[in-house]
Structure 1
Amino acid sequence: MATLLPAQRGYDNFQFLETKRPWLNLYGIRVRPVAPVGSTSSKPLLESSLLHCSLPDELLQEVFMRLSPYWLGRAACVCRKWRYATRMPSLWRNACLKTWQVSGRQENERLCAEKYGGSWRAMWHDRPRLRFDGLYVSRNTYIRTGIAEWKITNPVHLVCYYRYLRFFPNGKFLYKTTPLRVKEVAKTMQGRAAKLDGLFSGRCMLDGTQVEAAVIYPGSRPTVLRIRLRLRGTIPGAYNRLDLLSLVTCGVDENLVPNETEDVINIVDGWQENETHNPDIPAVSHRRGMQPFVFVPFEEVDTSVLNLPVDKMDYYVPG
């Protein structure tokens, strides 16, 4: 509600409008802990917030232990106390050991001590890593000629399809190619197994910023898909982009097809780009549909711009 104030000091012919802002009275007031019993300090002390009084440090640590690193970053923006609480080394040590569990605990501790000065938080921020809290999405488009009717000029259609990757800490990943949008595919890729509805499971290996991945398409003539990617981030520590360097399909000998306990990435390791082990299925190096992968967290799959149809976004620039 606005009120008119009388003119003052030479502004007799003018009046100005002022809106009441009670929160301005809070400026300059610092929240300080309650003074201990027997304190002789003359400065008035304000009580801490009710949340901090009801939530001891031990319980706050237990809550933060159950948060993902990205939610810890959001919690650090709440207040100064939470900011310092989220920097506990045990929180980031658990996050690092879970993210690079393939390397083993001893190797991670060695790298943390030698390269990152013993700071697990710095290791999490600076060491290249794949993200597991969402999907890497590559949006691709191409033009297809339509059917000519009567004597009208042939129509053309802009076709859109997606490649999806989801990685897991144990070195496995899920791969899917489909015209379905992100919000329609996210639920089916939150499971761990499932060679279901064109969803395939494979193995990957991260070496610095280079990612090597392989998937076997089962069937009467098994085919292996070899993927080579480069990991990067639009901002430091994000690692939200995967540049697709090569995409090769080739035949594999039936005797070399691994079972569930073997690692497909070790079988194709060392193969040349045009190498195949089945003469009926020559190696093919694909050059189309090579748009970079963009990371979309699970909480943003419904609101991502990648869900827009081609009539609203004909081409997407990942950056």
Structure 2
Amino acid sequence: MATVIPPRTGLEHLQYLETKRPWLSLYGTRVRPVPPAGSSSSKPVYDSSLLHCMLPDELLQEVFMHMSPYALGRAACVCRKWRYATRSPILWRNACLKTWQVTGWEENERILWMQYGGSWRTMWQKRPHLRYDGLYVSRNTYIRAGIAEWRTTNPVHLVCYFRYIRFFTNGKFLYKTTPLRLKEVAKTLQGRPSKLDSVFGGRCTLTDTQVEAALIYPGKRPTVLRIRLRLRGTVTGANNRLDVLSLVTCGVDENEMSTGAEVLDVTEGWEEDETHNPDIPATSHRRGMAAFVFVPFEEVETSVLNLPVDKMDYYVPG
């Protein structure tokens, strides 16, 4: 007996090409008030998290693994389930080890149990640390008298300029002083700046809440810029302010330029009158000492620091 083979219509291959999407069943679902099970109360309870019925906890944790610690803090405010999911020690352990990678894994473990009771989340919130997801900006203004012409009274100009610092987890940082506003400089510091951008790199150390940073201005007469800062936050764990304690420039001997690593060694601290060139004494500056304010990259375009001088003649960082 001959076997009859039905004609191929192509529909049998759809099961291999179509990806199962169980969350599509949530579309068009009307959320209705449902009374609690086993309760005699007639007060309705709204189930507004239908997506959690289709999203397993393992997948939710995988999504949170790719988020920054400050994004996790915002995610914890979405609902109760997300709040419990963001308390996973693995998420905060990875954030702490990445932030303090210069300290080393063993030292971080010792600090964790000695000072923070073994909680990685508490360590992240209470241990001072520099932020790497944005820029620290210092807005400075001063009054400069103009030149008198004919019988015109001397004009007065309000000069505004900015200091920008971006820190990295390996103990290095980028520094730039310019009159350009935040949104015009952020793209330069996010990428790989060139020499024409006048961006200088240096090294820094963080001891408790004190930051010591140093960089070299190249040129015919190289100069070392040393900045001492104090880290603080407007709320717990923010670390969004840097107070300028001192700002010193000193000369560099030509013989020391070949050993730039030793010149930028800031691990043992430095004095205000310390200089690397006996012929050029150190100079302590008192202008441009406004505190640095942290601005995340996602808030660069909307920050108030982009306003011109006529709309914001001063700025109080708080």
TM-score by length of 1: 0.83
Distance in 1 of aligned mates of 2:194 and 2:91: 32
- 1:278 corresponds in structure 2 to 277
1:209 alignment partner in structure 2: 209
Give the direction of change, closer, same or farther, for the CA distance of 1:211–1:46 in structure 2 (3 Å limit). Answer: closer
Instruction: Name the stretch that deviates more: 148-157 or 42-51.
Output: 42-51
Residue 244 of structure 2 corresponds to 244
1:302 aligned partner: 301
Larger relative helix fraction: 2
* In 2: Cα distance, 1:133 partner to 1:88 partner: 22
Superposition deviation, residue 280 in structure 1: 4.2
Deviates more, 1:280-289 or 1:75-84: 280-289
What's the counterpart of residue 123 of structure 1? 123
Letter paired with 2:151: K
TM-aligned CA distance change 1:270 to 1:253, over 3 Å? farther
Judge conservation of contact 2:214–2:266 (CA < 8 Å) in 1. no
Code of the aligned partner of 1:182: L
CA distance in 2, matches of 1:158, 1:256: 39
| CA drift at 1:198 | 1.2
Q: 1:196 to 1:90 in 2, by over 3 A?
A: farther
Q: 1:119 to 1:129 in 2, by over 3 A?
A: same
SS in 2 for 1:162: strand
Q: Distance in 2 between matches of 1:204 and 1:250?
A: 17
Matched residue of 1:266: which SS? coil
Equivalent position of 1:88 in the other structure:
88
Query: Which residue pairs with 1:35 in the alignment?
Result: none
Amino acid at match of 2:181: R
The runs of at least 4 aligned residues of structure 1 exceeding 6 Å deviation read: 41-48
Question: For residues 150 and 193 of structure 2, what CA distance do their matches in structure 1 show?
Answer: 49
For residues 240 and 45 of structure 1, the distance between their equivalents in structure 2, rounded to whole angstroms, comes to 40
Equivalent runs, 1:1-319 vs 2, <5 Å:
26=33, 49-191=49-191, 194-257=194-257, 262=261, 264-266=263-265, 269-319=268-318
The Cα shift of 1:196 comes to 4.0
> Does the CA-based 8 Å contact 1:294-1:318 persist in structure 2?
yes
Percent of aligned pairs sharing the same letter = 75
1:229-275 CA-partner distances (Å, limit 9, x unpaired):
00011111111110000000101122323568x36532784543112
Structure 1 contact 258–264 (Cα < 8 Å) conserved: no
Does the residue aligned with 1:247 lie in a helix, a strand or coil? strand
Q: 1:144–1:159: 8 Å Cα contact kept in structure 2?
A: yes
Q: Any gaps of 5 or more consecutive residues in structure 1? A: 1-22, 33-40
Change (3 A) 1:118 1:270: closer
Q: Is the 8 A contact 2:132 2:166 kept in 1?
A: yes
Shift of 1:142: 0.6
Q: Is the alpha carbon distance of 1:172 and 1:192 closer, same or farther for their aligned partners in structure 2, counting shifts above 3 Å?
A: farther
**Residues 259 and 300 (structure 1), Cα distance of their counterparts in 2 relative to 1, 3 Å cut:** farther
Question: SS of the counterpart of 1:211?
Answer: strand
Instruction: Report deviation, 1:103.
Output: 0.1
The question of whether the paired residues in 2 share the 8 Å contact of 1:256 and 1:267 is answered with no
Q: CA–CA distance in 2 between the matches of 1:304 and 1:45?
A: 40
Match of 1:19 in 2: none
For residues 35 and 183 of structure 2, what CA distance do their matches in structure 1 show? 46
| Superposition deviation, residue 281 in structure 1 | 3.0
TM-score scaled to structure 2, two decimals?
Answer: 0.83
Question: C-alpha displacement at 1:144, in angstroms?
Answer: 1.1
**Equivalent residue of 1:142, what SS?**
strand
Separation in structure 2 between the aligned mates of residue 237 and residue 227 of structure 1, nearest angstrom: 23
Check whether the contact 2:203–2:266 (CA below 8 A) recurs between aligned residues.
no
